[in-house]
């Protein structure tokens, strides 16, 4: 699955999900996910990644904590980035749950 993230003029990152019918604020990337996207971007405005629940790609997000509003993931196999990221329950819209592992590759 391909996902694109865009950075708004106010500096906030959002995942682009045209089929999502919830509030736009639900799609904001916060609490480490924004820093993660800043790290990944080349142009400072967009990031596109391929995402899989299979071990298809080199970088892994490993679930370390989950509660009723989201999950915290440890980023593995990405040189130079050593922070956790928080992903809200919009992940359920994409995968039906917060998976134990999410793999991705930067396009």
Indicate whether this model's pTM tops 0.95: no
User: Which two structure tokens, joined as six digits, stand for 93?
Assistant: 């819209």
pLDDT band at 10 (very low <50, low <70, confident <90, very high): very high
Quick: pLDDT tens for 43-93: 999 999 999 999 989 999 999 999 999 999 999 999 999 899 999 999 999
Instruction: Report the mean per-residue pLDDT for the chain.
Output: 93
Cβ neighbours for 78, distance < 8 A, ≥ 6 positions apart: 39, 59
Sheet of 46-52, strand order: 28-29, 13-15, 2-7, 46-52, 101-106, 59-67, 70-76, 84-88
């Amino acid at each position: 699955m391909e996902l694109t993230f865009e950075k708004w003029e106010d500096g906030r990152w959002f995942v682009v999900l045209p089929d999502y019918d919830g509030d736009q604020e639900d799609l904001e990337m916060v609490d480490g996910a924004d820093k993660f996207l800043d790290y990944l971007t080349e142009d400072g405005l967009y990031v596109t990644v391929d995402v899989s629940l299979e071990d298809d790609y080199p970088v892994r997000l490993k679930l370390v904590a989950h509660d009723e509003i989201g999950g915290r993931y440890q980023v593995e196999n990405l040189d130079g980035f050593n922070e956790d990221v928080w992903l809200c329950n919009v992940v359920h819209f994409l995968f039906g749950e917060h998976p134990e592992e999410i793999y991705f590759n930067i396009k």
